[in-house]
Structure 1
Amino acid sequence: MSRLMKISHNKMKRRGTFTCSAFAAAAILLLAGQLQAQSTPADGAGKGVAFTTHSGPAEMTTTVDRSAAQIAERIRLTLSVVVPESVTVSFPEQPTSLGQLDVVDVTDKLDIPLGDQRSWTRVYELESLLSGDQQIPEIAVAFTDKRGETPQHGVITSQSIPISITSVLEGQADPTQFRDLKGVVDLPITAPPTYTAWWIAGGTGLAIATLLLVVALRNRRQLTAEQWALAEMDRLVDEQHVEQGQVQLFYSRLTDIVRIYIERRFEIAAPRLTTDEFLAHIRDGETLSREHCELLKDFLTQADIVKFASYCPATSDGNEAMETARRFVAETAPTRKQSDPNPVAQEA
């Protein structure tokens, strides 16, 4: 009898050990599943996108690791250009921003062997402190084909990519929207502590500041396309890029101002067209006079040589380019009897 009890006791002990082991294994699997669920991005999060463009012997792949991000969250933009041997690639001068996105860091991997071809790669680390729908603009990359007797210069342009920036505060109450009173509520009158009075004073000050900000935004004035362009040119002169040797940045900024002016003045998508496409567009239309078309052609061609062919002009050439841009804006601005189709918002 005692032997049977001992055997039964051993069986129950082994069964208890097996049960504990099973519970432990189940707990480990559950914990692993939770950890895996935490590391998997939520459905609908911004997914990476990629585009490929071609120009002559060059092929460019434009890639972003996400198409949606929160404020201050990093976005990685990669430009990868593949060219044959004896073709060199020149990326533009490193900018401080791309559209409304700030450039946090730039990394280059240049002239990497890739079979019988070469790879040239630039990686931008971007972030934005503004929420809403934004755009990574097109980026022009120059290349020089040295396979023939005479080097041939060309430009390949990346695709513009829409980016959605969301705020961590989205969905919360808007402090500028006042709510109706619900009625009178009797509260006992008690002497508040000192720190409560400070909180009340701070909240009142914050409410007044918010109200003033809303009023200021509503009372903003409108600048014409001409006024905006001339103001931006004055600002560019004050930054003294040419005097500091930043010639490519100067010409890039100046041509951007002229292109945006043309877009707002004549409703032509100049910032999204290459120089050849834009010049062909204005030649086929009646927007600009022949004289202004030739003036603009000489201006943009000289700027492209500086930006993409590593040509370093003299300081006097930069001043002449600025005067040409000012002359073009002044002569093509609408008269007083005409209305500016796209005025630029300017805070008062």
Structure 2
Amino acid sequence: MNRQHIISEFKLLALVGALVLIGLNSSSAATPAVQEEVSKKSVQVAEPFTVAWTVTASANAKVTFPESGKQLGDFDIMDTNDLFDIPVENSAARTWTRRMTLESIQTGELTIPSLEIQVSDASGSQRVRSDPVTIHVASVLEDRSDPTQFRDIQSVVNVEVPVLPTYEWVWWTAGGFSGLVLLSMTVLFVTRRKSKLSPEKWALLQLDNLELEIEAGSTDSEKVTDKISEIVHDFLQLQLGISESGCTSDELLRQVHKDEQFSSDSTEQLTKLFSSLDQSKYAGLKMDSETLLSTLQETRLLVQRVTKELIAVSTGVD
């Protein structure tokens, strides 16, 4: 009798322990969590990289990610892949993963914003939020030595050097050729990047980014006018099919007059715009924020107007 009583108590304890373990596993699986992972934390302009968000939740959960558009913070979304409801080894939980391929034409310390993900199961509905991730986007010109910074050198030591045949011309030739190849690759890289967008959309995107910098007060008048001039230069070169980089404003305007693809009003506005930007740059006539924003808007309208005129010329529609 006593032995049967002990066996009954043992079975009862085993049952309670099993129920506790089941409860713990259920509780653990029912607590959703999100983890983010990036392939790189330092990239160059327009260099693609991947970021993945993985939600771990119970098997009967429904996980809803936010809708993905064309932009995520300062980054362009190039591709999106979902891998949902995947069993976890030795666990009652499952995972839901969203992986994106991103890139950016902006530079600096850019942030991938946090995602708010909804998880619903038998116990109710809740939201989990990922952590933001900082990505360093470097320009192709970054890390060059600054010629204005003084670098100390040791005093000159006179050493007798035997006279040997010189092959200096070989090194100068090789160096010049290498520089030419590097310059060509850089121009090709930028041109390919811009070719993903139409010249109009690319120019408008650059002007929008510049407007955000002005409103945030993160740039000055001289840099803004230089950037506007650079955007208009590149836009006209792309539209007119001019491959040479480094055309002056006068050269571009002469080409515009020669092609006669723009209306006289548009040509006059281009002339006034370049003149105003050159005066700001070379005559030291700085613009305030209100004038800069007004110039940006005028540039936008001019880009759109010129594009319509070129389309009309190419299609023969007035």
TM over 0.5: no
Which one has more relative contact order, counting CA pairs under 8 Å at least 6 apart? 1
Looking at secondary structure, tell me which structure has more helix per residue.
2
Pairwise TM-score range, normalised by the shorter structure? 0.3 to 0.5
